[in-house]
Amino acid sequence: MKVFKFGGASVRDAEAFKNVLKIIKSYGHERLWIVVSAIGKTTNLLEELHHCWRQRIENSSLWDQLFETHQSIAHELKIPDGKQSWRITWLELLQLQSTMPTGHFDQTYDQWVSYGEILSTQMLSDLCTLSEVKHSWSDARTWLMTDKRFRDARVNWEETQLKIRSTPAGPITITQGFIGCSGENTTTLGREGSDYTAAIIANVLDAEEVIIWKDVPGMLNADPKKFPNAVFIPELTYQEALELAYYGASVIHPKTIQPLKVKNIPLNIRSFIHPEEKGTTVHENCTPHYPVCTIVKENQTLLSVSTQDGSFIVEDNIQEIFHHLIQIGIKVQLMENSALSFSICIQAEEEKIHALFQSLQSKYGIRFNHPVTLVTLRHYQESDLTPWMSKNILLEQKNRSTVRWILES
């Protein structure tokens, strides 16, 4: 059994859906689980709609844009109006819009954005039915069990194993990435969490391999949109993939590797544009030579926290700061402490940063730089550092294999 994951770019329009169907058919003799993300920029639209709903702001143009995106794809795929199962979900979403906002922001956020994956998988299921491809559609909220940590839920592995192993599945099973359930509420695994969903399925069902279908030929040593001369990497160890994902390589979600590593399940990153090409393989038994890998994360914020009385920042202070970070759901990209301050680099999310300020300002002094850019060079040579040295570097960390800078944007 193989697990495929198709991201939003691979189902961005009708031609992309046809391409996904073609890839599925080419593996028609094998048992497949197909994990699909929301269509194109649907999640971003749903985020905006959720914000408008919370604020009771009129948003008809956003609704029209979301509906037209899905309806035009369905019509181009020639799916009959009476057999478009996504329309039922659309009515559920409209009904949600008519309710009054209640509950915590993160909880309602997960409820809203989860509809993107439901809509896209129903669209693919409709296309498979029309094309007489035998399959089943499975709602991930019935078997991917999590805690109540909304927007970054943690998997309840024991319950998930029991649920997924008892889930009816055909030769091809189409399901959603990114979403799960705490038992009574929809949860999500964090943005770009569909890769993680694929790894969870593979781990529980002892898959032969996982294939993530991307719009790039595989893992590159840099983002080709920023670095046109990016170099293809044919294979990686699990450990190296974990390191690159941790530092922010966008091709792999950070949580994806570990569930595969423990069962030695290979991960393949391949191009849905050129599916005949081999792509990059992540596995244990390789000793590749890596080029210097460059990872650039923009729109970051550098926060420096110090005590108001000028005393040392010690372990108790750091523990308290991290308690607030965990409670608010802020992920630290980089951290460094000196005698009098503790500095962290975090994704610039205004609401969460405001909440952190509110939590710390009574006891600590806080300084910040925004926006900043976090740059990571892995497997560098000294000559690779030269082009960056003319930048305004606010903070530097360096070890044998990796150098990281926070640059003023």
**Are residues 300 and 168 part of one domain?**
no
230 inside domain: no
Rounded to whole angstroms, how far apart are CA atoms 209 and 107?
Answer: 33
- Tens digit of each residue's pLDDT (9 = 90 or more) over 74-94: 999 999 988 999 999 999 999
325 inside domain: yes
Rounded to whole angstroms, how far apart are CA atoms 84 and 130?
Answer: 10
Task: For tokens 């007489």, name the residue.
Answer: 132
The model's confidence at residue 162, banded by pLDDT at 50, 70 and 90, is very high
45 inside domain: yes
- DSSP assignments along 28-52, one per residue: TTS-EEEEE--STTHHHHHHHHHHH
| Ramachandran angles phi, psi of 388, nearest 5° | -90, -15
Residue 180's CATH number? 3.40.1160.10
**Are residues 125 and 18 part of one domain?**
yes
Rounded to whole angstroms, how far apart are CA atoms 193 and 204?
Answer: 17
79 inside domain: yes
Report CA dihedral (75, 77, 81, 84) to the nearest 10 degrees. Answer: -120
Last residue of a domain, one of 207, 225, 243: 207
Instruction: Reply yes or no on whether the pLDDT at 225 is more than 80.
Output: yes
The model's confidence at residue 184, banded by pLDDT at 50, 70 and 90, is confident
Q: What is the pLDDT of residue 396?
A: 96
The model's confidence at residue 304, banded by pLDDT at 50, 70 and 90, is very high
pTM of whole model > 0.85? yes
**Are residues 309 and 166 part of one domain?**
no
Q: What is the pLDDT of residue 252?
A: 85
**Are residues 7 and 101 part of one domain?**
yes
**Are residues 200 and 297 part of one domain?**
no
**Are residues 148 and 297 part of one domain?**
no
275 inside domain: no
Pull the structure tokens for residue 186.
């929809």
The model's confidence at residue 253, banded by pLDDT at 50, 70 and 90, is confident
322 inside domain: yes
| 255 Ramachandran zone, left/alpha/beta (phi>0; psi -120 to 50) | alpha
The model's confidence at residue 409, banded by pLDDT at 50, 70 and 90, is confident
Rounded to whole angstroms, how far apart are CA atoms 161 and 203?
Answer: 9
**Cα–chain-centroid distance for residue 82?**
33
Provide the domain count of the chain. Answer: 2
258 inside domain: no
Q: What percent of the chain has pLDDT over 70?
A: 100
Last residue of a domain, one of 145, 173, 207: 207
Cα distances from 330 to residues 199, 250, 339, 346, 348, in angstroms, run 24, 18, 24, 7, 10
Pull the structure tokens for residue 29.
């003799």
Q: What is the mean pLDDT of residues 333-347?
A: 95
Q: What is the pLDDT of residue 341?
A: 95
**Are residues 185 and 303 part of one domain?**
no
Lowest mean pLDDT among 41-50, 154-163, 242-251, 320-329: 242-251
**Are residues 31 and 147 part of one domain?**
yes
**Are residues 200 and 312 part of one domain?**
no
Residue 388's CATH number? 3.30.2130.10
CB 8 within 8 A of CB 39: yes
* Domain ranges, residue 361: 293-408
Last residue of a domain, one of 207, 225, 254: 207
356 inside domain: yes
**Are residues 201 and 302 part of one domain?**
no
Instruction: Reply yes or no on whether the pLDDT at 288 is more than 90.
Output: no
Rounded to whole angstroms, how far apart are CA atoms 291 and 168?
Answer: 45
Which residue from 127, 227, 124 is spatially nearest to 177, judged by alpha carbons? Answer: 124
